Amino acid sequence: MSNSTEMEIKNNKVGWESPSNIAIIKYWGKYGNQLPQNASVSFTLKNAATRTFVEWRNGNTTGKPECTFSFEGKENPAFKARLDKFLNSICHDFFPFLQHVTLHIDSSNSFPHSSGIASSASAMSALALCLCDIENQINGVGDFNESFYKKSSIVSRLGSGSACRSVYPYMAVWGKHQSYPDASDEYAIPAESSMHPVFKSFHDDILIVSADQKSVSSSAGHGLMENNPFAKARYLQAENRMRVLSEALNSGDIGGFGKIAEEEALTLHALMMCSDPSYILMEENSLAIIKKVKQFRQDSGIPVYFTLDAGPNVHVLYPDEFEKKVSAFIYEELKPFCYQGKILRDEVGKGPQKIC
């Protein structure tokens, strides 16, 4: 958009639904402008998603981004403040058009409020996709090509690091690593082609142990890595685990995959426990679930594994082939440890979708 005549854009609207993702190798520690201290890999989820619609109108003369925001039909001042800051930070370098338009952003989540899984990954990636789509429309470009998703991933990352991995189907890698030569610290890359088919239909049942707000935000958690005495060893460990995991993902080695998934979850929590100040993010019931998962695997021989994000909820990962037996186990033995018996059943998904 180069001059004011071209600015005569009609009122218009776009919408994207973008999923959450579950990291197998965790991003924990960052530097510079939202760049990761180590490479990470995640599965894209199917059911846990944010739907975001962005309407834009011409006629903003303030010279800076202007927006209104509603979440599930209601104003949300806390997220609006984060949004304003984010839009200001990306306007100059990524979307100069934001100076000339007013946005109305309307978002909703597919998962319930009280599930304790506030997903900045789905929210930020849905917004980034909308902004890139608007830019395309303003420039008369209709293509959702590789560079569209690359830019969406960069912008998502600036909103929330893990969000950059949500824009691709099945699996994504973020951060430089020798096992993924195209990978970058600036954006995630799609990694479906390095994924054995058995993982493409993997399940991830999210066992809600607590619906409380996190006791420490991810941003503050990343910050604590700066003075963590084990940080250097951790980044080296993540690099090695990425290499081992990439081979397991490629070859369909479910046992090798599960071992690393669990080690990564426990490492993440151990890092929080030995930060200053320290945080214990698991609850008694998280631990009870973890122990039961391990015991069930040992007794049944069924490859079922756990992972966690920076909170008490437990993700139970397993191949589709064992769906019946594992869900019976989850409902009989694990549900009693869940907050109000809440379980969000999810699985690996095909990535974001344009909905408007």
Q: Which residues bind ligand DP6 (CB under 6 A)?
A: 23, 26-28, 34, 40, 120, 160-162, 218-219, 222, 268, 309-310
Nearer of residues 20 and 60 to ligand DP6, judged by Cβ: 20
Closest separation in Å from C-beta 2 to ligand DP6:
34
Q: Cβ-count burial of 75 within 10 angstroms (0-12 exposed, 13-18 middle, 19+ buried)?
A: exposed
Tell me the residue number closest to ligand DP6, measured at CB: 161
Nearer of residues 60 and 286 to ligand DP6, judged by Cβ: 286
Q: Strand runs (DSSP E) across the chain, as ranges? A: 12-25, 30-31, 35-36, 40-58, 66-71, 74-75, 101-109, 171-174, 188-190, 203-207, 305-308, 314-318, 343-347, 353-354
Residues 95 and 1: their CA atoms lie apart, in Å, by 10
**Tokens 């639904």 map to which residue?**
17
Buried b (16+ CB within 10 A) or exposed e, 259-288: bbbbebbebbbebbeebeeebebbbebbeb
Nearer of residues 141 and 216 to ligand DP6, judged by Cβ: 216
Nearer of residues 161 and 258 to ligand DP6, judged by Cβ: 161
296-to-15, 164, 302, 326 alpha-carbon distances in Å: 42, 34, 8, 9
Closest separation in Å from C-beta 353 to ligand DP6:
21
Closest separation in Å from C-beta 35 to ligand DP6:
10
Q: Strand runs (DSSP E) across 234-323, as ranges? A: 305-308, 314-318
Closest separation in Å from C-beta 311 to ligand DP6:
8
Q: Say which residues have a Cβ less than 8 Å from residue 16's Cβ, sequence separation at least 6.
A: 51, 52, 126, 129, 130, 133, 352, 353, 354, 355
Closest separation in Å from C-beta 70 to ligand DP6:
22
Q: What are phi and psi of 62, to 5 degrees?
A: -80, -15
Reading the block at residue 16, the tokens are: 């994207």
Nearer of residues 27 and 187 to ligand DP6, judged by Cβ: 27
Closest separation in Å from C-beta 160 to ligand DP6:
3
Closest separation in Å from C-beta 320 to ligand DP6:
23
Residues 103 and 279: their CA atoms lie apart, in Å, by 38
Nearer of residues 138 and 310 to ligand DP6, judged by Cβ: 310
Nearer of residues 151 and 222 to ligand DP6, judged by Cβ: 222
Nearer of residues 56 and 305 to ligand DP6, judged by Cβ: 305
Q: What are phi and psi of 96, to 5 degrees?
A: -55, -25
Closest separation in Å from C-beta 331 to ligand DP6:
26
